[in-house]
Structure 1
Amino acid sequence: VGSAFSTTWARKELDSIASDPPRDHVFQVNNFGALDNIQNQLQEKIFAIEGTQTGSSSSFQHEMSQEGFSALLTPDGPVLGDVGSFDWSGGVSLYPPKKASTFINVSQKSGDMHDAYLGYSTDVAIQNRIQGLVLGAPRYQHTGKVVMFRKTTGNWNQWAEVMGAQVSDGEGEVPNRHPGIFPTAGRPPPEHCFWLRHCRCRPLYPWRIGGSQLSPGLRYFGQALSGGQDLTQDGLVDVAVGARGQALLLRSRPVLRVDVSLRFVPPELARAVFDCGEQTVLRREAGEARLCLTVRKSSRDRLDEGDIQSSVTYDLALDPGRLNPRAVFDQTKNRTLRAQQTIGLGENCESVRLLLPECVEESVTPIILRLNFSLLGQPIASSGQLRPVLAEGSQDLFTASLLFEKNCGADSICQDDLNVTFSFSSQQTLVVGTSPDLSVTVTVRNEGEDSYGTMVTFSYPPGLSLRRVSVLQNPRQPRAPRLTCESTRPRSSSCSISHPIFREGAEATFLVTFDVPPTADFGSTLLLSANATSDNIPKMKNAFFQKELPVRYGINVVISSGEQSTSYLNFSASEEKSSHVLQHQYHVNNLGLRSLNVTVTFRIPVELNGLPVWTKAEVVPPQVPSAPDTFLPPPPPPGNCSIAVCRVIQCPIASFQVREELTFTLQGSLSFGWVGQTKQKRLSVLSSATLSFDTERFAQFPGQEGFLTAQTKTVVERYEIYNPLLLIVSSSLGGLVLLALLTAGLYKVGPHLRFPPFLCPPPPAQVSISTASPQSPPSPFPLHVSSTALPTVPCLSLSHPAPLTLSPCPRSARILQAAVQGHDGSGSSRC
């Protein structure tokens, strides 16, 4: 402040005191008021103190580095630990001779290194003549971490790291300098232990030595470490570990490796050994398995090889993972064998015999023999009871395979010849809706050599689904083939036959059942195909077979007479020339699961012997368009409507929907003039309705065919009106005449004579008109006429030159039929 330091030498003195560069840290002002600006600049440069950082404060770089916290001499120069650099992330400074220093730390991308204290401890590791720096970070994430750096292309890069595993373990002590061993890591309390890690930097430590393993009273075990020297003169490196009040020497153990040889004698099972034909129990020898273990040392030491002994325990298993093993050990009669023996260095071999307990059906995959062993070193008396140990990472699981001989002829190439056929079991037509399933009988034959992985694939249209498969017994092959089927893709199913080998000359017959949904639509025919394939190489021509089955669809349409129909009409003699309204009602229902086109055909009597019967007949109301009327005149017998002329009305129903109901009403005028021709007082008038559809595509449900036709009947009755006066006069006159005749007769004959027997006249003729006819089925429109005896006609003589022809009507167009029975002169009756 002021001009006190305006001279040159005074200014230099201030520059020497201030931090570099002086221009940023020396300010000259004329009064103390100008210090406010300087204060603001200083506030922006205030460094954050440990534990008091804020979001707006800057970070330390090397201002609080504490360089020299740890020190190490390396071939590249001295290394000083900078635990406080970059907010106490830490690092080290390497000072090569005659070169600028190099700062080594973790990449800035690792933002979690704050407060890690990297460089707390340092050491050097050498492997394959490559030097590495090992730095400890004991406060990393409160668990500790050891980081290794390697020099590549002139730069130091992070190569590996080892994480701590527990809170406050403080890992980071790395005082080992032995080439080939990754430095040991010591942990102060609370664990009182240390680790030994191999130079390859595995993520997990192979050895963990705790103080409680050695002595319960040890404290701070692992606080100080020293290694890399052979203090016991056995050629193995020893490690000295410090604890509170004492030091311990830990010896290295000799390392062993085991080479395993596992093979079968003979290496392949002959077909005559495992193929037992129709037998089920075999009990044949399958050769032997030979096991050899070769033990050798992998550590460099001065121990006598003859003193090294190990106890080896091994477990053998045949066909592991299979439910039923194909081979067993002769010694145990089981699939497993466990043995233990003490062996030294060198080769040690043993043989075990094998048996085949049952017939081998699956001979494609070899028999697997699995070996699992463990090694426990025996104490070496000449070396202070040291125990050898199996090398870390040694393989202890081995397998061997016993192959089966194939039946492939002299060229050892199996060439099968598959043939597949099928038939629809007792089905000529598939009726969808009435047939819930479709059964197919399939036959597969192998006329060549053994077929491996034989499979039959069925292809079928959408809608079908595989329900079940059952094997049919073949008398030529007592042993039924194995069959496994599954539907892996839509519209197809695959069945493996006698997996994995379908033998030469074998035949398999099985029944495949498919589900047929009642709403499925397959068109007019169903196409089913079968393709037989195998895994044989080279591939032979695949066997293919296909067949079509006609398809119809089940329906259930019914027609019935309605309750609103006219059931009874009567008239008198004076009303014969009049008419009355007649109404016949029909209901049509679709009770099935499909819509279809249906035609309703009505037949009604309209004329009899030239006289009208039913006039002005029509469908009321016309719910569907009707076809033009058709009149059927009476053809010669036995034609339709032989007595009356029938009117045919057809009503097509387009797309008759499911659960839909339609009502048809036949309405017209019924005349009575034709009734007098029958000489009957009571008769019936019938109409009929018939449902028709495309019989090539649809079929009525079984047992429901009778509901395709319905009839409606109206009873017509004629009644007489009597005059009582005429009856009284006639009766009186007749009585007087009879009395006079009786009186005259008695007078002439006399009272003492016996009267002769009264001669009764022959019975009067019976006249009936009915629908029955012995030559043909009943008419759909029968006219029933019945009468009492005709008192004035003893016999009805049919002497008309053109006698009344009474032939029956077919069911579709009947209306009237009459039969007259009487007596001729000879006393015989005729119609």
Structure 2
Amino acid sequence: LKNSYVNYTINLDTKQKTKRVTFAMNDGTPDSISDYVRISLDVCKNYSLIVQHCTMDCVSAIIVEVNYTLNNTEKKLGLPLPILDHFSNLSSCVELKFQKDCGSDNICKANLKLESKLPENFTWIVGKTKEVSLNILLSNIGEDSYLTTMDLSYPKSLFFKGISKPQLADVKCADQATSSLSFLNCEIFHPVFKRNSQVEVSISWDLGDAPFEEEFACVSVNVSNKNEIGNAVHNTYNIPVRHGLNVFLKAENQITEVDIRNKAVDETVKFNFQVTMENPYNASVNLTLSIPVKIQDRQIIQLQQESLKHCLKTQKIFKQQPEQKIKDQWDCDMHECECWYFQCELTAAKQDIDLTARLLVNNLKQLVKDRADIVISGVVLFDEKLYQETSDAKDIHHNVKMHVTILNTPVFNAIPVVAGSTVGGILLLLLIILILYKCGFFKRSYKDMIEFEEETEH
């Protein structure tokens, strides 16, 4: 055996791509070394290893693999050469385990708890909402958690702004983006997130103004570790998304009075709805007009042909008449009214919708005993699942009502009353004079008698 050698190769951390240990003295490959030893000599060779800073895995054991072969340098005639056992494995492995504070079983059972929340009732209004923050509280109420990582995924329209954390919190984050999503990877107290520890952070994003195609923006938070027994926690938020628009509706002369008591011909009335709009995301916006045209099967309004020529008239809607008296106000929410409905598409920044109609006086005289209100309504409509009004002004209106007050009060003629009162007063005065005359009030003797009685009393 004097001339027999064992050639061997030592490979470090064979289960990992990124090596956690290297040879201290090796100018070639730092994680592998080849050497030999003579079998006949009782000599051991020592190799120093350097443990790298833990960045990937501080839990699983480091596997050191040794591969060896036998080399005979001299052959003696007639003597057999030494060989290795043909059925034995020509390699051997050694495990280098990390020291962990994980109890007697040396298995760390972390217990991660994740609490996170957005602002209450938060809705992302594209074009108005400029930023949003997600508050996160992460706790470990179990044993140590190794290489704890928090991963967030979110739409590309959310731009990572920064992270707010306590000064001593060891939290490092890096963001990256793909063609469809953005990601944020945060290292939480690497390498060890100790037992009974917690950290609170706030992650902020700037919100883009570009149109967002989905109804919800999904933000996902996933926290995991590299313990032998995995403990992952997960939260998902579906943020409602609306696109901003600004629509202001007003009406000229919201109350119009028409006195029909002395009219014999129909009265013409005009209505004007004014719309001012900012619509940067091209929402489909319509003005819906509701116009009462019949009461108790009597037509009260007749629209002129040129009115609402750019609006789409919908099918007439008839409502059954209930068993109750007609109220003094007629609008399309009442069962007594038969109405016409028009939809006017709003496309311009400023737009006027004009309506001209004739009031049918003869029919109104039969319906109106004293006074009544005809209510014409205008309502701005858009898809509220996709769009939202952005103005905070108090005078923003999407619903306007115009009133036409019909007066049919009978004229009170005071002349007969005055004449009758005058004649009655004169007759009453004559009657009193007649009674006094009959009683002798106007005779001289009666007057003297009265004077005598007064002198006697004195």
| Same fold per superposition (TM over 0.5) | yes
1:482 corresponds, among 170, 181, 184, to 170
Tell whether the 8 Å contact from 1:527 to 1:548 is kept in structure 2 after alignment.
Answer: yes
Query: In 2 relative to 1, CA 650–621 (structure 1 residues): closer, same or farther, beyond 3 Å?
Result: closer
1:707, distance to aligned residue in structure 2 (A): 1.1
Tell whether the 8 Å contact from 1:581 to 1:668 is kept in structure 2 after alignment.
Answer: yes
1:647 corresponds, among 335, 339, 356, to 339
Tell whether the 8 Å contact from 1:563 to 1:585 is kept in structure 2 after alignment.
Answer: yes
1:632 corresponds, among 307, 310, 319, to 319
> What's the counterpart of residue 310 of structure 2?
623
Tell whether the 8 Å contact from 1:471 to 1:481 is kept in structure 2 after alignment.
Answer: yes
> What's the counterpart of residue 105 of structure 1?
none
Supply the distance in 2 between the matched residues of 1:462 and 1:668 (Cα, whole angstroms).
53
Tell whether the 8 Å contact from 1:565 to 1:583 is kept in structure 2 after alignment.
Answer: no
2:144 corresponds, among 449, 471, 477, to 449
1:645, distance to aligned residue in structure 2 (A): 1.2
Q: Is 1:587 aligned to residue 309 of structure 2?
A: no
1:691, distance to aligned residue in structure 2 (A): 2.2
1:625, distance to aligned residue in structure 2 (A): 3.0
Alignment of 1:105-254 (within 5 A): none
Q: Give the SS at the match of 2:318.
A: strand
Alignment of 1:453-464 (within 5 A): 454-464=148-158
Amino acid at match of 2:153: S
1:585, distance to aligned residue in structure 2 (A): 1.6
1:563, distance to aligned residue in structure 2 (A): 3.4
Q: Is 1:547 aligned to residue 240 of structure 2?
A: no
> What's the counterpart of residue 743 of structure 1?
430
Amino acid at match of 2:164: S
Query: In 2 relative to 1, CA 565–686 (structure 1 residues): closer, same or farther, beyond 3 Å?
Result: same
Amino acid at match of 1:423: S
Q: Which runs of 5+ in 1 are unaligned?
A: 1-362, 366-404, 473-478, 754-831
Tell whether the 8 Å contact from 1:451 to 1:504 is kept in structure 2 after alignment.
Answer: no
1:708 corresponds, among 398, 401, 411, to 398
> What's the counterpart of residue 440 of structure 1?
134
2:381 corresponds, among 665, 674, 692, to 692
Supply the distance in 2 between the matched residues of 1:416 and 1:721 (Cα, whole angstroms).
95
Tell whether the 8 Å contact from 1:626 to 1:649 is kept in structure 2 after alignment.
Answer: yes
Query: In 2 relative to 1, CA 708–750 (structure 1 residues): closer, same or farther, beyond 3 Å?
Result: farther
Alignment of 1:362-401 (within 5 A): none
1:630, distance to aligned residue in structure 2 (A): 2.3
Query: In 2 relative to 1, CA 698–618 (structure 1 residues): closer, same or farther, beyond 3 Å?
Result: farther
Supply the distance in 2 between the matched residues of 1:609 and 1:481 (Cα, whole angstroms).
77
| TM-score for the superposition, normalised by structure 1 | 0.34
1:563 corresponds, among 252, 258, 268, to 252
Q: Is 1:524 aligned to residue 194 of structure 2?
A: no
Q: Which runs of 5+ in 2 are unaligned?
A: 1-52, 56-97, 441-458
1:732, distance to aligned residue in structure 2 (A): 6.6
Supply the distance in 2 between the matched residues of 1:431 and 1:464 (Cα, whole angstroms).
11
Greater fraction strand: 2
Supply the distance in 2 between the matched residues of 1:610 and 1:465 (Cα, whole angstroms).
62
Query: In 2 relative to 1, CA 423–515 (structure 1 residues): closer, same or farther, beyond 3 Å?
Result: same
Supply the distance in 2 between the matched residues of 1:662 and 1:602 (Cα, whole angstroms).
15
Q: Give the SS at the match of 1:631.
A: coil
Paired residue total: 334
Query: In 2 relative to 1, CA 736–506 (structure 1 residues): closer, same or farther, beyond 3 Å?
Result: closer
Pairwise CA RMSD: 4.5
Tell whether the 8 Å contact from 2:368 to 2:406 is kept in structure 1 after alignment.
Answer: no
Supply the distance in 2 between the matched residues of 1:661 and 1:711 (Cα, whole angstroms).
20
Supply the distance in 1 between the matched residues of 2:204 and 2:270 (Cα, whole angstroms).
52
Q: Is 1:493 aligned to residue 187 of structure 2?
A: no
Query: In 2 relative to 1, CA 407–640 (structure 1 residues): closer, same or farther, beyond 3 Å?
Result: same
1:451, distance to aligned residue in structure 2 (A): 1.9
Q: Give the SS at the match of 1:458.
A: strand
Q: Give the SS at the match of 2:384.
A: coil
> What's the counterpart of residue 289 of structure 2?
602
Supply the distance in 2 between the matched residues of 1:661 and 1:683 (Cα, whole angstroms).
33
Supply the distance in 2 between the matched residues of 1:510 and 1:672 (Cα, whole angstroms).
73
> What's the counterpart of residue 427 of structure 1?
120
Give the greater-gyration-radius structure (CA): 1
> What's the counterpart of residue 503 of structure 1?
194
Q: Give the SS at the match of 1:689.
A: strand
1:569, distance to aligned residue in structure 2 (A): 3.9
Supply the distance in 2 between the matched residues of 1:529 and 1:660 (Cα, whole angstroms).
39
Supply the distance in 2 between the matched residues of 1:562 and 1:418 (Cα, whole angstroms).
63
Q: Is 1:660 aligned to residue 336 of structure 2?
A: no
1:672-721 deviation per Cα after TM superposition (whole angstroms, max 9, x unaligned):
232465443x6653311112333333344475696120012344456989
1:378-416 deviation per Cα after TM superposition (whole angstroms, max 9, x unaligned):
xxxxxxxxxxxxxxxxxxxxxxxxxxx954669999867
2:299 corresponds, among 612, 622, 630, to 612
Query: In 2 relative to 1, CA 592–406 (structure 1 residues): closer, same or farther, beyond 3 Å?
Result: farther
| TM-score for the superposition, normalised by structure 2 | 0.58
1:459, distance to aligned residue in structure 2 (A): 0.8
Tell whether the 8 Å contact from 2:136 to 2:200 is kept in structure 1 after alignment.
Answer: yes
1:568, distance to aligned residue in structure 2 (A): 4.8
1:364, distance to aligned residue in structure 2 (A): 5.9
Query: In 2 relative to 1, CA 555–633 (structure 1 residues): closer, same or farther, beyond 3 Å?
Result: farther
1:669, distance to aligned residue in structure 2 (A): 1.1
Supply the distance in 1 between the matched residues of 2:425 and 2:391 (Cα, whole angstroms).
71
1:650, distance to aligned residue in structure 2 (A): 3.7
Query: In 2 relative to 1, CA 416–581 (structure 1 residues): closer, same or farther, beyond 3 Å?
Result: same
